[in-house]
Structures are given as C-alpha cells and as structure tokens.
C-alpha cells in the first residue's frame, strides 16, 4: 500500500503526539509524518513538492495559520492544507476555507475516522484538480500546436506558390532540352514538398485526436470501380498491368468511412505501382461472413523490388523510410504508411505485410464491417477494364458547384467541367454547399448548376437539396450516387433533384446533362490580386495574365482600397495575412463599398466557413496555386 507523506505544522508537542497517534490508528504504516515545530521550519518545507497533504495548526506563536497558509501559497506549495484549531468558530472556518484551506477541523472534536476522511477527501480533490489542470494544459498545448501548424502551413505554401507559378510560366514558353528537364524537376519537387506538408498536417490531426471518422453506407462495386480508374492510369504510365480480383462473393453494401478506406488503399496501390517496374499490381478482395457483419480483406500484391525484414519493422514508423538507393530515388514523405496504419485502427481494422527482396510485397488491410440495411452477397468479375476514359470536351459555360466529400472524385468532376469551359467551385458536404449557394445569391453572383453527391457526412445531398428548395432555390441539381438499388433515381427526384447520374461518372453522360441546363455567358476578366509576398505576387500576376485576366496587383490592404476606387474588377483574390490589416477586415471594408463581384481568400490555412461568410468572402483558393488551379477562377 502507498505511504502518504504528510507535513504537520504544530508548535505544541502534546497536540503533535495526539495527531500522530490518530494517524497511527488510521493506518500504522500508512503515513510518513514530517514535523515542523515552528513557522520557520515550515517555510523550509514549503519549497518541497514531496508532500501529499499538510496539517496546519491555526495558532503558531506570533503567527496565525492564515499567515502561514498565505506564505505557503506564495512559495508554490501545492499540497492540500487542512487547518487544525482549538476554537469551534464558524467565522474562522469560513475565513480559512476562503484563504485556500481545503478543510477546517476542531482539535477537541477530532477522531481517527474524521481525520482519515478529511485527508482522503483532500488528497482526492488535489488529484482531481491536478488532472483538470493537466487536461487544460494539454488542451492549450494542442490549440497552440494547431495554431502553429496553421501558420506554418500558410508560410510554407506562400513561397511554394512562387516556385510552382514561375515554373509554370517558364514551361508555357515551351523550352528546349535540357531546360525542359530542369523545369520538370523543379515542378516535381515542388509538389513533393506540398505532399510532405499535407502528410505532416494529416498525422498531426490524427495524433491530436481531431480527425473525425464518418461511418456510412458504401456501395462496394462503385467504390472498387473508382479505385480501378484512379490506379489504372498510373499503372499504364509505368507500363505495368493493374487488376482487381474478387476471390469470394462480396457484400453489395457495407458500413465504413469510404474516404479513409480509399485513402489507405490508394496509399498501398500507389506505392505498389511506384516500386514495380515490370509485371503487375493486383488488388485481391475476399470476405468472411459473420453473423451481423463480414470480415473484409483487401490484399495489394505487387511484383516489385520487395522489402527486407529489417526494413519492414520500421516501415510504419512516422518519417522512417526503407533504406537503399531505389527507395531513396522515389519521392515520399515516410508518412503514408504510418497514417494508413492509424486510420486502419480508427476504422477498427489492422494492416499486415509480407515481403521478400526481389519477389515483391503484399500489404493486407483487414476490416470487420457491418452490413447495411439492404445488402446481398454476389460474385463479381472485377477484372474487366471499365469504359474508355477518352472523350471530347464540349464547349460549355456557367458557374457550377461540385459537392462531394471525396476530394479525388470532387476534383475529377471539377477537372472535367473546367476542361469544358465552366467556372467551378467545390464543397465537401451539403451544409457547405448551402452556405456557398446562399453567399453567391446574396452577392448577385448565383451558380447556374449544382453537381451533388448523395451520400456525405455533416449533411447528405438529398437533405441539402430539400433545404435548397425550401429556401426558394430553383437551381438545377444533378444527383451523383453510387447506389444501385431500385427506386434510387426516383428517390433523388422526389427530394428535388433535377437529374440522376450514377457513379462512376461517365464524362459523356455528365456533359449531356450539363448541356440541358447551362447558359451561355461572357466572363468579365478583370481582377485585383492582393498579396504581400513580392515573389508570389509577381508569379501569380503573370500566370493570371497568361490565362487572359487583366490583373492589377498590390501588397497591402490600404493600397488595395485605393486601387479599388479607380478599378472595378469582377474578382478579387486576397491573401488573408497582410502586413497592415488581416484579410477578413479588408473584405468587410470592400463589401461596405457595395462591391458585388467575387471575393476569394488566398491562404495556406483553413479558416472557418462562418468567419469567411461573415467577412463577405465567396470562397477559398488554397495555396500554393499553379496554372491549373488559377484556371478554375
């Protein structure tokens, strides 16, 4: 049993003996008592943090216990203090407690049971307070860490904008060899830095417990088809084969977080393609049926270079990469597998690895997934290639909002639409979409069409569409869904959607639907760029000019307000960290001048949507931005 170290401040030897004996009665071996016979002796012990509790006499010669208590607090003594007195005085009791004592005991009424209870409660309260303070400290440290990472993210993304921007400008001039090779190396390494930054922020979120897992129904056939499309292109570039095989019957619907499952499998598959020069990469899937769920195994097998046993032990450690010339030649942060392992644990699964040098590797993700309400087991042939992804983009125009919680799919659809001539903004869920649509409407810059995923966290697509109709929006909404159940199309139409389109998205079908709704439009391409970093400002301005924008630039808020008096743009692109005022303040001042054009925040941070809305922003353009990202404006 633990021994309680106790400081007894008592100048009367008889009272000391009585108190010591009471402690012995409570537990003969439970207390180590240190006796301070005077205030001076007590002061020496107040510098110590070894005590768990202190019993302090109220009357100590020329001093009172309240004076000694105040001195203990000044010296940082953190053990709970119980005041002992020979006077039964309620006013004195209240005064002692107000001064910081945790209890007040009258010596004549003191028993072993009462003293034991007082000490036990005092120590318990001290422990609870320490836990509370440690929790607050941890929360403050996490908040400080988050703020630092957000600031660091912005500071790193701004120079990356210059690097990628100027590289794009030079590549636009169609340089000859070897300049073309040199510029390609710069651009590739710039994106490697961006990937590393994103991985660090992802891992920090997981370690801080701020990464949310959203479980929902997932249609396995569409999910696997999307994976096939994403990886096939990478495999073809390497001249290797990629295929998916279902080794057993698989459930049609499961409950999981599709975004995180996709992130894990894309990491495995991308690594497999990266380290395989000939042969194939294969994704095998098999299911073990359980009573109310199934155990799914996703096995990624490659014929690549393999990994030694010693390197396998370190592979899932953050920032640790396998050694060797081939591993070092491939760009990577050393975080992908560490993140995947932690995501697997959050999904309730585990990852295993088998590999041999020269014989390839096999990464296996095993998950136990609940069945959805409507499911069946089915044999699928997943080896057949999907429909050709080659198509001709039509000439379209209009403002389109693409809404999907899966970033890869959202960006794929946006890329298709931008290639056809549309101006595209993106949202990750229904609530965010409603906010963007409302802001655009309020600023007299309405969207012409919405492409809306059905299954999303926060607010799903059908609920969002119903909310839009209640708010009076008559904008066309094309529902995207991976569901294959009968009645799904009618369910979308009943919710207020204009059209229904199944996943995976077929470009020709998407363009046919868009052509029914999008109007012709002429974009006024006048722009003000507000960026305090001179290199980033110059690079961005030249990129915008290359894209046909008449772009005027300045480096601070006051200059922007002066420029705005004589130049009326259709778009303002503004860094939110300016030297003389923050972007939110500047945005409000611009809106106060009755500006109705688009106003975008350029940042490497993640500002809250509420703060953006309140300030008058229409959206965010994340740093770094290059030619392809600026083409979306």
**Model confidence at 460: pLDDT above 60:** yes
Strand 477-481 with 499-502, pairing: parallel
Q: How many CB atoms lie within 10 A of CB 210?
A: 10
pLDDT on residue 135: 84
- Mean per-residue pLDDT over the chain, rounded: 83
Asked whether the bond before 288 is cis by omega within 30 degrees of 0, the reply is no
Q: What local confidence, expressed as pLDDT, does residue 207 receive?
A: 65
pLDDT at 210: 62
Q: Residue 47 — left, alpha, or beta (φ > 0 → left; ψ -120 to 50 → alpha)?
A: alpha
The partner residues of 477 in beta bridges, in order of sequence, read 450
Q: CB under 8 Å to 160, separation ≥6 — which residues?
A: 190, 193, 194, 623, 624
Q: What mean pLDDT is predicted for residues 122-128?
A: 86
Cβ neighbours of residue 180 closer than 8 Å, sequence gap 6 or more = 171
Where does residue 346 rank: exposed (0-12), middle (13-18), buried (19+ CB within 10 A)? middle
User: Which pair of structure tokens corresponds to residue 8?
Assistant: 């007894």
CB atoms within 10 A of CB 458: 14
Phi-psi region of 418 (alpha: psi -120 to 50; beta: other; left: phi over 0): alpha
* Residue 58 and residue 87 in contact, taking contact as beta carbons nearer than 8 Å: yes
pLDDT in tens, 76-120: 888 899 999 888 888 888 888 888 898 989 988 889 999 999 998
Q: Residues 182-222: pLDDT tens digits? A: 887 788 777 767 776 777 766 666 666 666 788 888 888 87
Instruction: Answer yes or no: are the C-beta atoms of 228 and 492 closer than 8 Å.
Output: no
CA atoms of 151 and 409, how far apart (whole Å)? 28
pTM: predicted TM-score of the whole model, two decimal places: 0.45
DSSP string, 508-561: HHHHHHHHHHPPP-----EEEEE-S-HHHHHHHHHHHHHTT-EEEEESSHHHHH
* pLDDT at res. 192: 67
Give yes or no for a contact between 464 and 433, defined as CB atoms under 8 angstroms apart. yes
Average pLDDT over every residue of 406-414: 79
- Segment of 134-138, 271-275, 363-367 carrying the highest mean pLDDT: 363-367
pLDDT at 366 over 90: yes
* Domains of the chain from N-terminus onward: 4-110 (3.40.50.2300), 146-210+523-633 (3.40.50.2300), 216-378 (3.30.565.10), 399-517 (3.40.50.2300)
Question: Is a pLDDT exceeding 60 seen at residue 328?
Answer: no
Pick the residue with more confidence: 528 or 173?
Answer: 528
Asked if 92 and 106 touch (Cβ cutoff 8 Å), the reply is no
pLDDT at residue 69 greater than cutoff 60: yes
Per-residue model confidence (pLDDT) at position 23: 92
Q: Is the pLDDT of residue 156 over 80?
A: no
């Amino acid at each position: 049993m633990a021994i309680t170290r106790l400081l007894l401040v008592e100048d009367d030897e008889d009272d000391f003996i009585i108190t010591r004996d009471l402690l012995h009665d409570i537990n003969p071996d439970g207390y180590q008592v240190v006796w301070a016979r005077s205030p001076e002796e007590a002061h020496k012990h107040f510098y110590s943090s070894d005590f768990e509790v202190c019993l302090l006499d109220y009357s100590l010669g020329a001093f009172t216990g309240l004076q000694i208590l105040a001195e203990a607090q000044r010296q940082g003594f953190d053990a709970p203090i119980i005041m002992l007195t020979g006077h039964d005085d309620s006013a004195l009791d209240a005064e002692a407690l107000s001064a910081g004592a945790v209890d007040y005991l009258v010596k004549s009424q003191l028993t072993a049971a009462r003293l034991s209870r007082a000490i036990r409660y005092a120590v318990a309260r001290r422990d609870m307070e320490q836990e509370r303070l440690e929790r607050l400290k941890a929360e403050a440290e996490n908040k400080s860490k988050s703020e630092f990472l957000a600031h660091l993210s912005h500071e790193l993304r701004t120079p990356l904008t210059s690097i990628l921007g100027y590289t794009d400008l030079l590549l636009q001039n169609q340089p000859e060899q070897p300049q073309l090779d040199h510029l390609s190396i710069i651009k590739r390494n710039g994106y490697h830095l961006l990937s590393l930054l994103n991985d660090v922020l992802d891992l920090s979120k997981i370690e801080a417990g701020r990464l949310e897992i959203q479980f929902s129904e997932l249609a396995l056939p569409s999910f696997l088809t999307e994976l096939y499309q994403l990886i096939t292109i990478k495999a073809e570039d390497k001249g290797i084969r990629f295929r998916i095989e279902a080794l057993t019957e698989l459930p049609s619907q499961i409950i999981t977080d599709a975004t995180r499952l996709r992130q894990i499998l894309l990491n495995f598959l991308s690594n497999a393609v990266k380290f395989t020069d000939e042969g194939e990469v294969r994704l095998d899937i098999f299911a073990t049926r359980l009573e109310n769920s199934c155990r799914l195994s996703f096995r990624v097998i490659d014929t690549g270079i393999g990994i030694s046993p010693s390197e396998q032990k370190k592979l899932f450690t953050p920032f640790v990469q396998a050694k060797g010339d081939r591993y070092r030649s491939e760009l990577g942060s050393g975080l992908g597998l560490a993140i995947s392992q932690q995501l697997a644990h959050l999904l309730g699964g585990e990852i295993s690895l088998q590999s041999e040098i020269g014989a390839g590797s096999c990464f296996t993700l095993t998950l136990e997934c609940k069945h959805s309400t409507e499911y069946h087991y089915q044999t699928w042939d997943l080896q057949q290639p999907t429909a050709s992804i080659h198509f001709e983009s039509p000439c379209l125009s209009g403002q389109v909002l693409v809404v999907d919680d899966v970033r890869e799919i959202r960006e794929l659809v946006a890329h298709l639409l931008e290639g056809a001539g549309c101006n595209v903004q993106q949202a990750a869920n229904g609530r965010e979409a409603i906010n963007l649509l409302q802001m655009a409407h309020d600023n007299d810059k309405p969207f012409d069409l919405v492409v809306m995923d059905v299954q999303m966290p926060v607010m799903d697509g059908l609920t969002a569409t119903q909310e839009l109709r209640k708010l009076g929006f008559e904008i066309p909404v094309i529902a995207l869904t991976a569901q294959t159940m009968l009645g799904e199309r009618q369910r979308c139409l009943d919710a207020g959607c204009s059209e229904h389109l199944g996943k995976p998205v077929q470009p020709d079908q998407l363009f046919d639907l868009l052509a029914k709704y999008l109007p012709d439009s002429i974009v006024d391409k006048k722009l003000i760029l507000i960026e305090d970093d001179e290199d980033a400002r110059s690079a961005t301005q030249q990129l915008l000019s290359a894209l046909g924008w008449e772009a005027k630039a300045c480096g601070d808020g006051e200059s922007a307000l002066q420029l705005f008096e004589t130049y009326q743009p259709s778009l303002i692109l503004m860094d939110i960290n300016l030297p003389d005022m923050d972007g939110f303040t500047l945005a409000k001042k611009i809106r106060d001048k009755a500006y109705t054009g688009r106003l975008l925040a350029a940042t490497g941070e993640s500002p809250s949507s509420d703060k953006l809305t309140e300030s008058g922003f229409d959206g965010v353009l994340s740093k770094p931005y290059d030619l392809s990202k600026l083409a979306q404006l």
